[in-house]
Chain A
Amino acid sequence: MTGPSGSGPAGFGPPVAGPLGGHGFTVPVLRLGDILLVTLQGELHDGMAEQLQQDITDRIAHTRVTGVVIDISGVDVVDSFLGRVLAEIAAGAELLAARTVLAGMRPAVAITLVELGLTLPGLRTALDVERAMELLTAGERQGEGSP
């Protein structure tokens, strides 16, 4: 992995992301109990998406959360790159024993993704964040069974 986040030998705590590709901010990753909540807003540049992937994976590894909710209700456009990154985030989280739910996709975005042939198989989806939380906590109560 290349990237400026190698600056943090601190180990624990959120990795400090340096300015990447000219964008001086990153997507916030909030922790709510055992769940990480990531809210994407507006347009997400490729560099930010990659940074986000790295951030989430690090956070899961260091905090041992059991679920990740990615809220994309504020996203108008999901291109093939972002679609792939989302699938990769989910696959990486799965390896670290956390389940990922994609929440709040807009109808127009869903149609575009399907027309692109990106049906994101294997990725859990929910109507909104509330439903996603429900899905994760319900799965927990039933035990560690995969759906």
Chain B
Amino acid sequence: MQVSVSVSEENAEQEPPAQQVSAFLERRREQVAQRWADAALFRTVFTVSRDEAVEAGRSVAAALAAVAAAGRLDDIRAPGFEAVRDQLGRMAASRGRMGIDTDGLADEVAALREPVTDLLRAEFPDPNAPEAQECVLALTVLMGTLRLVVLETTVSAGEEVIARQREQLHEVATPVIKLWESTVAVPLIGTLDSARSQTVMESLLDAIVAERARYAILDITGVPTVDSLVAQHLMKTVAAARLMGAECIVSGIRPAIAQTIVQLGIDLGTVLTRASLADALAYALSRQGVEIAPLRTDSAGVR
């Protein structure tokens, strides 16, 4: 009996700790999943049924076993994680919607380590043997990697959202409107940075070609502040429109902004300006020989 035990231990000793951890996770997958189902992370995400939580725990444990089997304990790009990356992302997103920030999430993932290391220690006749210590250490490293994977998934999901929203903002924020025959307008809303002013310039110039516009109105009513950089962007757009043969009018300059422009000493001398979009349109129309007049009263009487 003694002899047989020592032989099996010797066999185990020949295996590296990562392989032992992998075998342990495969063997005890059910118990690990059951314990994790009670942990805060799984319990709060899968509120409908405990079976669901256990099922999720099983797949995470299986993924960890695969990573350990490949011997890539501290590699967050290990192929084994791919299987659960989506699931972890959904869990993290669901926690995020409940108002848990990244710190809280990190703590919850860290809390998964305790139950599984306890189970691993119980596997060894002597938990303080160097061999057992090594296995526990390997498992700890693995759980640390899991924590990193979860956080990395969260961060990249956040980045995706930001990039998508930025793109939407660009599309939404720069419509070019045809106001009249040969007259187009861009109502600018929000802060003008370099990227946005580039988009504005491109769409305005394309619209000038498409509509065969002679007059282009840049309305800055929705621009909260005008500093020298914004003024420079505006002047560039005006210059580009002029090169295309269209006259550019900047409108919607609020009194406060007019004051700021004067105080900053920005020279908008080369740019035609009007107080409101209506004034700018009136200017464009009069230059084209179009006059808008109220209907005569006698013609109203005929109707």
Contact = CB atoms under 8 A, between A and B. Distances in A.
Contacts of A115: 236
Nearest to B236: A114
A120 interface: yes
Nearest to B205: A107
Contacts of A119: 239, 242-243
Q: How large is the interface on B (under 10, 10 to 19, 20 to 34, 35 or more residues)?
A: 20 to 34
A111 B245 contact: no
A120 B270 CA distance: 12
A131 B244 contact: no
Interface stretch (B77-85, B206-214, B257-265): B206-214
B243 A120 contact: yes
B202 interface: yes
Contacts of B148: none
A114 B240 contact: yes
A80 B225 CA distance: 33
A113 B241 CA distance: 11
B240 A111 contact: yes
Interface string B191-205: 000000010011001
B246 interface: yes
Given A111-B201, A111-B202, A114-B236, A105 B208 contact: no
A80 B38 CA distance: 70
A127 B239 contact: no
B55 to A, nearest CB: 55
A126 interface: yes
Given A107-B205, A114-B236, A127 B242 contact: no
A105 B236 CA distance: 16
B245 A114 contact: no
A103 interface: yes
Given A111-B240, A114-B239, A126 B205 contact: no
Please list the 9 inter-chain residue pairs (A to B) with the smallest Cβ-Cβ separation, ordered nearest first: A107-B205, A119-B239, A126-B245, A127-B245, A110-B243, A125-B245, A110-B240, A114-B240, A114-B236
Given A111-B198, A125-B245, 16 more contacts: A105-B243, A105-B244, A107-B206, A107-B209, A107-B244, A109-B243, A110-B240, A111-B202, A114-B201, A114-B243, A127-B209, A127-B212, A127-B245, A127-B246, A131-B214, A131-B245
Interface of B: 198, 201-202, 205-206, 208-209, 212-214, 236, 239-246, 270
